[in-house]
Amino acid sequence: MLAWPTLGLLVVSVLGTSFISGIFGMAGGMVLVGVLLALFDVAPAMLLFGVTQTAANGWRCLLWRKHVRWSIVWGYALGSIAMFVLFRFIAYIPEKSVIYLGLGLTPFLVELLPRQWQPHIEQRGAPIFCGALIMVFQLIAGVAGNVLDLFFNKSPLDRKEIVATKAATQTLAHILRVAYFGSISIESFSVAPWWLYVLCIGLAFCGTTLATRVLNAMSDVNFKRWSRWIILTISGVYVGRGLMDLVF
């Protein structure tokens, strides 16, 4: 049985992070996975996270379905599924320190690349490469929304196309995450009670719906500017947390 303070923290975290992700199409998941990893072991945390994020992204994709760039989604799906099949044979569950450092360091490494080498989701072959790369990060580092956003933030897509298309790709990614960790550690489903999954799904729907008005009011320039700074700020926090886990 979850203690009331723990349950309250989960409610606030799921609702708040779904609202943030509903605006920017990312960042919320990076915060939520940190909270879940602090409360659960890696496998059950990833299962609850995967179910919650599948609901949030699926609902966001439905709300903005007119803006989804399906040509990108299909290429992304091809790369993701291919890498999922490969990694399922490896059956690797990472340590928490690996997750935090993987989350934190990648965006800073990409920022150091020359501009002409930085990823762009509309480049030829980029969706397939992006899908494969993000699936690797999601299965090894836990989440990869900050890395995925680097592919979209450099593109000429507008904010609604970015949010909608990323939601479609991440719905698939989180379904594969649940399948991956669930097949490796099926007993982890019983760590959290069934009603907690239902509660998190409902909260994800609410937070995502509330965010639509804010996204409508925001400009594309401010959307991309805020996205970049949110990614780097959260990434810096994760680097610090990963180093603390390694040292202590």
Q: What are the tens digits of pLDDT across the range 153-198?
A: 778 888 899 999 999 998 988 898 888 888 777 776 677 788 999 9
pLDDT bin (cut points 50, 70, 90) of residue 33 is confident
**pLDDT score of 98:** 75
**pLDDT score of 156:** 83
pLDDT bin (cut points 50, 70, 90) of residue 117 is low
Mean pLDDT of 6-10: 87
Does residue 89 register a pLDDT over 90? no
Question: How confident is the model over 186-224, as pLDDT tens digits?
Answer: 776 677 788 999 999 999 999 999 998 888 888 888 888
**pLDDT score of 231:** 77
Mean pLDDT of 72-88: 91
Share of the chain above pLDDT 90, in %: 27
Rounded-to-integer distance, Cα 19 and Cα 11, Å: 12
pLDDT bin (cut points 50, 70, 90) of residue 94 is low
Does residue 24 register a pLDDT over 70? yes
Q: Which residues of 179-207 are buried (b: 16+ CB within 10 A; e: fewer)?
A: ebbbeebeebbeebeeebbebbbebbbbb
The single-letter DSSP state of residue 64 is T
pLDDT bin (cut points 50, 70, 90) of residue 143 is low
CA distances from 78 to 81, 92, 129, 134 (A): 6, 21, 9, 12
Q: What Rg, from alpha-carbon coordinates, does the chain have? A: 17
pTM: 0.81
The single-letter DSSP state of residue 148 is H
What's the mean per-residue pLDDT of the chain?
84
**pLDDT score of 68:** 95
Are 44 and 236 contacting, i.e. CB atoms less than 8 angstroms apart?
Answer: no
